[in-house]
Amino acid sequence: MRGAGQEGEGEVPGDIDEVNALKLQVDQWKIPTGLEDPHIPASLLKLWYRELEEPLIPHEFYNECIDHYDNPEAAVNVVLGLPHINKLVLCYLIRFLQVFAQPANVTITKMDVNNLAMVMAPNCLRCQSDDPRVIFENTRKEMSFIRVLIQRLDTSFMDGIL
């Protein structure tokens, strides 16, 4: 699989039937073989995060994220205050996105930090408002918050973790 060497990685959705087939395999602890299209596992990753009962960044932290979308130090502090498992999973995801955001990978994938944040923010944060204006305004802030984390969150403690 090409992964970070595929244009539009994470942005282009994978074929839904192939995504569901991969999901079934992985849910049954079977190691997938023959994956040729990197959009399939990328789509599955986003699906897993979307299907979480509670978002990766729990609802009670949502407003803090929105309030600190443009303040790197405060954004990092929000992450540090998350429940332990949420923090670890989020840091692992951000570490993964930081790899994709490296210039050598961006040249190939065309997925810069802004595109990565746009694709992943809805999978990490969920606005609970029904007001379309609030949703629209917060979408930009959600993306900015995730972008700040990709750019500024120290995930070096994740080195060597599978």
Kind plus residue range of the DSSP H or E element containing 81: none
Q: Looking at residue 37, what is its pLDDT?
A: 85
Q: Looking at residue 162, what is its pLDDT?
A: 60
The amino acid occupying position 152 is R
pLDDT digits (tens, 9 = 90+) for 75-86: 999 999 999 999
What are 13's two structure tokens?
Answer: 């959705």
The amino acid occupying position 137 is E
Q: What is the mean pLDDT of residues 24-39?
A: 86
Q: Looking at residue 126, what is its pLDDT?
A: 96
Q: Looking at residue 3, what is its pLDDT?
A: 47
Q: What is the mean pLDDT of residues 98-127?
A: 95
Provide the pLDDT confidence category of residue 12 given band limits of 50, 70 and 90.
low
| 42, 9 Cβ separation under 8 angstroms | yes
* Averaged pLDDT score across all residues of the chain: 90
- What percentage of the chain exceeds 70 in pLDDT? 91
Torsion of CA 84, 123, 20, 38, to 10 degrees: -100
Q: Looking at residue 1, what is its pLDDT?
A: 40
Q: Looking at residue 120, what is its pLDDT?
A: 96
Which residue, among 49, 32, 39, has the nearest Cα to 15 in the 3D structure?
Answer: 39
DSSP 156: G
Residue carrying structure tokens 């443009």: 70
What's the sign of the alpha-carbon dihedral 128, 133, 139, 140? negative
What are the chain's domains? 1-51 (no CATH), 55-158 (1.10.555.10)
pLDDT reading at 33 higher than 90: no
Q: What distances in angstroms separate CA 4 from CA 9, 49, 61, 69, 104, one per listed residue?
A: 7, 20, 31, 27, 9
